[in-house]
Structure 1
Amino acid sequence: MISIIEFINVYSLIGCVIVLLWYYNKSKRNYWRKLNVNDKKSIPVFGNISKFIMMQEAYFETLHKLYMYFEDEPYGGFYQMTSPTLLLKDPELITQILISDFKHFYDRGFEFVYVNKKLNPLSCHLFLANGERWRILRQKMSPVFTSGKLKAMYEQIFACIKLMNEYIAANVSDNIVGSDINLKELFERLTIDVIGTCAFGIECNSLKSNDQFRSKGVEVFKPRIINVIKMFLAVINKNLLHYFKIGDMKKDVQDFFLNTIYDTIMYRKSNGVSRNDILQMLMDLQNTYTNPKYAPQNLQNNILTNEEFDEIDIAANAFLFFIAGFETTATTLSYCLYELALNTKIQDKLRKEVQDLQNKQQKIGPHDLKELKYMDAVISETLRKYPILPLLNREITEAFEFSKSKLQLPVGTKIIIPTWSIHHDRKYYPDPEMFDPERFNPENKSRIINGTYIPFGDGPRYCIGKRFAQMEIKATLTDIILKYNFSPCSKTQIPIKYKEGTIMLSPSVGPWLNFTKRKV
């Protein structure tokens, strides 16, 4: 129970911060007009994102209003609170900054994220890394996602899928009516078990019980009121977050993941245990590439020192793979089944493709998944309509000029690419709200304009776990579609609504579907 004094102190702090931001805002107000960039009138302090800050809409909705406001312009200026940000719309320019001129846009430039080992130890990972540190980390981590190593993890994934089927069977009645299932909860349990065994060698048993991994994982993505204060302070000076000890997540959640990973590291070191998983790869990275003595001669200057890659860095990068492999994959599977339930012809066509492959191979292995071309199209269309991270962030690391417009942008300029809006632009995808996998058949796929389909990003900083996620999604769909029919139920939200105050594209409810067993 918060005391009256604490209540007054919190709101006094907020009041002081708003006053400071009000004055700070004056110096930034004409930033885009000085560069001859069209911008949208903003609210002092809150800029153009007030509804998101007040948790009245999701961030992609805020960005989409700006996207529509700038109409046919290639870009437009707006303010994330007091921070001038360029909203980039033109596919050619998007491809330019993500790929061809990547060296000018190395860093992600998250405005409200504070990477700090003491305050936010779990923030020191690859996704938020900048500059040379990012390049070295990316180079060292990429080998864990080669085709051979991914195939070696397939049996571990399939063992978790088998447990998922037992979970569904226990919750679905044998009668013709079937049972209603919360897809998000179901697939969160699955992906927790998968990432637990493939990343850490830990049996989470989420499909058998209400384990801590899932409950703590869900907490990571929950919107918090404290985040509003955090955003205000970050705009003034990110060091204020350290002063007021405001971290990215609740301390008990942070401590749970840190202690779990530390304990696993210590157990392996003490007992000489080595596994083929992501945590082991990170431990090997520390043991080998943090010491110049063990690095090959041609890599002597391509290392991280012990101070630059310690146990905190191992824990942070292991945590990155946990959150990336947990929430995003679970949500994608949920949206995919949701659309299959609403589009029975697509569901039947996909089932026939899988059935035909099974009749041919008896047991579908990892090498067989590439034959499921229609499934590829279904997943691609799911990610077009529902890009789980509906925006890409970049920051200019070297002064740059857009050749098409002669716009010169200084170092430090923030850029946002509104992925969701581009995926829903009628210029690129006619009838964008329609779920149509045929957009991604071989003939149509070749016509997709570069820079208009980027659910995993593109260029050197594309999602490192892309192939792992695709394999897990395909393996899950392959199994579940042969065993069950799924259809809307009384709890199904049509159209789907999204959580407010979040950056991720998360459903506000469920989604729920009715499952009935098929005769196999």
Structure 2
Amino acid sequence: MNHSIGNYWFEILLGVIAFIVIFYRFWTKNYNYWKDRNVPYVEPVFPFGNTKDFILSTGFIGLVYKDLYLKLKGHKYGGYYFMRRPGIILRDPEVIKQIITKDFNYFTDRGITIDEKNDPLSAHLFNLGGEKWKKLRNKLTPTFTSGKMKTMFHLMKTCSKQFERSLKDYAEREAVIELKHFTARFTIDIIGSCAFGLDIDSLNDPDNEFYRISKGIFGLSIKMYIRNALNSIIPGITKTLGLKLTPKDREEFFFRIVRETVDYREKNKVTRNDFLDLLIQLKNGHSITDDNEEKSNHEMNEISKNLHKNNEDSGHLLDQNSTDDLILTNELMTAQCFVFFIAGYETSSTTLNFCLYELALNKEIQTKLQEEIDKVLAKHNGEISYESLKDMTYMDRVVQETLRKYPPLSTLTRECVTDYKLKEANLEIKKGLRVAIPLYGIHYDPEYYPDPDRFNPDNFTEEAKKSRHHYTWLPFGEGPRNCIGMRFGLLQVKTGLATLLSNYNFDQIPETQVPIVLSAKSILTTPKDGIKLKILKRQK
């Protein structure tokens, strides 16, 4: 009897050992991928590959890729592994330019799994790929031209006045504030007004529904880790299993808001010249024109040209002869409103936070920027306007330096859609391989930015920019797939800065974290413990 029990447990043990061995071999069989191709690479560690700190939430993803960038120093590119999936890190600015701009038709997609049927909010411009992305981008490009931004600016200005008033009492008391509490509400109010036509006023309504639904939207949940692990094993399996990116409460909220707003506007013939108005025009088959139409058409032509360049040679999935136009359904329209909201509010508020943080640490720069703001506003009757912000050239440099040190999206990714060979660099990339461009590696490379940890707006004088490769500053990406909302985001940040710095000073306090620690639990560049500063009323 005891002998039988012993054999039973022995067989179980053998089975467990066999399973572990088979699993280990399956998981690590790709770990020779780059070695077999004689490509420089960073040695992977089972089972995390080269992304252990990201998987275990012990390190910010941007710094994980920065570490890979540094380990591949001396090479134009190199291999790495996301868990078991091989990918390639690009280091050389000219190689980056070749892949994301010149040979864009090979790298049109980001490699993000979307499920339009079960997870409709995932089908937005940032995630989509191929022909559908191109058609949607063509349709949406005119909504973000300078002319449209100028039309929407009065909505931003109203929100900025509320922003200033909400901080007045704190400044008079010289209080310590948590920046995110205010800047996030400011940008949410702008997005609510410019995208949905709603007077949200979350600055005065702490329990506002928009603010509550936005919390943790870029956090890395257990579900997100499971999705990443499954997609690493079998790309696209999460769609088969029906695992959604968007929580149900957020999905229901955005569909309700968009449906109610569109129904009300169409029934009552209401127009606001905001983002949703433009989407309604597209949904109803109207084209969008702009006073900057020539430039808009040029950009769309460039996208189309890059997509179809070398199409015959590459065998790319896009069909040049396709004449079917994209129908902007309610689902597709809501998905665009969703990404406009989440990208527009979070990235802009975070950039504003980091900018004020650096200005508090570098008071001479804060003073110099305030002097420019005062001088320019004096020429514009004391009014913050679209035109007055354009005249603030030192502010441009301050914002660009902030985006260098703290790019909201720390890593650009592209997926190869058909086999590709970059002859100049002797590099072959197979279909399905992920390409990563580590912005923290490039933006902090002393070869491009001397003393990169120092906040130095002079990195962006015209002379300094001409001295380095254009593709060494990429907070908005580059090429046909660059950030379509760049103008809008920059306008939000500059409006917020001009409003605050014309009225208030910001000082660091003992609780201000120096140097700042970035959160490992967010896919965007976010301070781990927030940013606390003292706010004081300016004595002009």
TM-score, normalization: structure 2?
0.86
CA distance in structure 2 between the partners assigned to 1:18 and 1:239 by the alignment: 25
Within 5 Å, give how 1:72-221 maps onto structure 2: 72-110=74-112, 114-172=113-171, 174-175=172-173, 178-210=174-206, 211-221=208-218
How far the C-alpha of 1:43 sits from its partner, in A, is 2.4
Which amino acid in 1 is paired with 2:40? Answer: N
Evaluate the alpha carbon distance shift between residue 504 and residue 356 of structure 1 in structure 2; reply closer, same or farther with a 3 A threshold: same
Per the alignment, residue 45 of structure 2 pairs with 43
Partners of 1:465 and 1:360 lie apart in 2 by 29
Q: CA deviation at 1:242?
A: 4.4
Distance 1:271 1:359, change over 3 A: closer
Cα deviation for residue 394 of structure 1 reads 0.7
For structure 1, the 5+ residue unaligned runs are 1-16, 291-297
Deviation at residue 218 of structure 1 after TM alignment: 1.7
2:351 is the alignment partner of 1:355: no
Q: Which amino acid in the other structure matches residue 513 of structure 1? A: L
> Could you tell me which residue of structure 2 aligns to residue 337 of structure 1?
356
Task: Map residues 296-315 of structure 1 onto 2, 5 A cutoff.
Answer: 302-306=323-327, 309-315=328-334
Contact 1:492/1:513 (CA < 8 Å) preserved in 2? yes
Please give the alpha-carbon distance, in whole angstroms, between the structure 1 residues aligned to 2:336 and 2:375. 40
Contact 1:92 1:450 (8 Å CA) reproduced: no
Residue matched to 1:266: 263
Per the TM alignment, residue 190 of structure 1 is displaced from its structure 2 partner at its CA by 0.3
In structure 2, what is the Cα distance between the partners aligned to 1:199 and 1:503? 24
1:74 and 1:436 map into 2 onto residues whose CA distance is 27
The answer as to 2:228 corresponding to 1:231 is: yes
1:323 aligns with 2:342: yes
- Which residue of structure 2 aligns with residue 461 of structure 1? 481
The structure that has the greater radius of gyration is 2
Cα-to-partner distance string for 1:284-303 (whole Å, 9 max, x where unaligned): 2222179xxxxxxx999555
2:114, 2:239 within 8 Å by CA — same for their partners in 1? no
Task: Say if 1:518 and 1:494 are closer, same or farther in 2 by CA, change over 3 A.
Answer: same
Match of 1:376 among 378, 387, 396: 396
Moved more, 30-39 or 415-424: 30-39
CA distance in 2 between partners of 1:465 and 1:245 (Å): 30
CA deviation string 1:288-339 (max 9, x = no partner): 179xxxxxxx999555354xx3111111011111011110000000000000
Q: What is the distance in 1 between the residues matched to 2:465 and 2:427?
A: 32
- Secondary structure of the corresponding residue to residue 509 of structure 2: coil
Structure-2 residue corresponding to 1:64: 66
Cα 1:143/1:302, change in 2 over 3 Å: farther
Distance 1:303 1:272 in 2: 29
User: Does the C-alpha gap of structure 1 residues 468 and 303 become closer, same or farther in structure 2, counting only changes over 3 Å?
Assistant: farther
Which amino acid in structure 2 is aligned with residue 123 of structure 1?
S
CA deviation string 1:318-367 (max 9, x = no partner): 11110111100000000000000000110111111111112222123212
Mapped partners of 2:121, 2:393: distance in 1: 38
Q: Flag the 1:23–1:246 CA change in 2: closer, same or farther, 3 A.
A: farther
- Aligned partner (choices 27, 30, 35) of residue 29 of structure 2: 27
Say whether the 8 Å CA contact 2:406–2:525 is kept in structure 1: yes
Q: Contact conserved, 1:136 with 1:302, CA < 8 A, in 2?
A: no
Q: 1:493 to 1:19 in 2, by over 3 A?
A: farther
Aligned pair count reads 489
Report the alpha carbon displacement of residue 154 of structure 1 after superposing the two structures with TM.
1.0
String of CA shifts for 1:263-304, please: whole Å, max 9, x gaps: 2223223333333111222222222179xxxxxxx9995553
What is the rounded CA distance, in whole Å, between the counterparts of 2:486 and 2:345 in structure 1?
Answer: 13
> 1:502-517 maps to which residues of 2 (within 5 A)?
502-517=522-537
Q: Give secondary structure in 2 for the equivalent of 1:209.
A: coil
Identity, in percent, stands at 37
Distance 2:511 2:84 in 1: 41
Shift of 1:426: 0.8
Unaligned residue ranges in structure 2 (runs of 5+): 1-18, 288-300, 305-320
Secondary structure of the corresponding residue to residue 451 of structure 1: helix
Alignment of 1:433-448 (within 5 A): 433-448=453-468
After superposing the two structures, state which structure 1 stretch, 392-401 or 320-329, moved more.
392-401
Distance 1:481 1:401 in 2: 50
Indicate the SS of the match to 1:95: helix
- Counterpart of 2:435? 415
**Code of the aligned partner of 1:63:** Y
Q: Residue in 1 aligned with 2:10?
A: none
Query: For residues 141 and 452 of structure 2, what CA distance do their matches in structure 1 show?
Result: 34
How far is the alpha carbon of 1:502 from its aligned partner?
A: 2.6
CA contact (8 A) 1:289 1:304 kept: no
Deviation per CA, 1:439-479, whole angstroms, max 9, x where unpaired? 11122122121211111001111110111111121122112
* Alpha-carbon distance, 1:183 to partner: 1.1
TM-score (norm 1): 0.89
Structure 1 residues 426 and 263, CA gap change in structure 2 (3 angstroms): same
Instruction: Tell me what 2:283 maps to.
Output: 286
In terms of mean alpha carbon deviation, does 264-273 or 466-475 score higher? Answer: 264-273
**Cα contact 2:384–2:499 (8 A) shared by 1:** no
| Conservation of the 8 A alpha-carbon contact between 1:389 and 1:505 | yes
Partners of 1:189 and 1:143 in 2: how far apart? 27
Match of 2:11?
Answer: none
Summarize deviations over 1:199-254 as a string: whole Å, max 9, x none. 11011111111211112112311221222222222223355434654321332222
2:277 matches 1:275: no
Q: Secondary structure at the match of 2:201?
A: coil
The amino acid of 1:203's aligned partner reads D
Distance 1:502 1:19 in 2: 34
Pair 279,237 (structure 1): closer, same or farther in 2 beyond 3 Å: farther
Contact 1:103 1:398 survives alignment (8 Å): no
What secondary structure sits across from 2:471 in the alignment? coil
Q: Which segment drifts farther, 98-107 or 234-243?
A: 234-243
Moved more, 497-506 or 40-49: 40-49
Instruction: Return closer, same or farther for 1:462/1:265 CA change in 2, 3 Å cut-off.
Output: same
Letter of the 1:262 counterpart: R
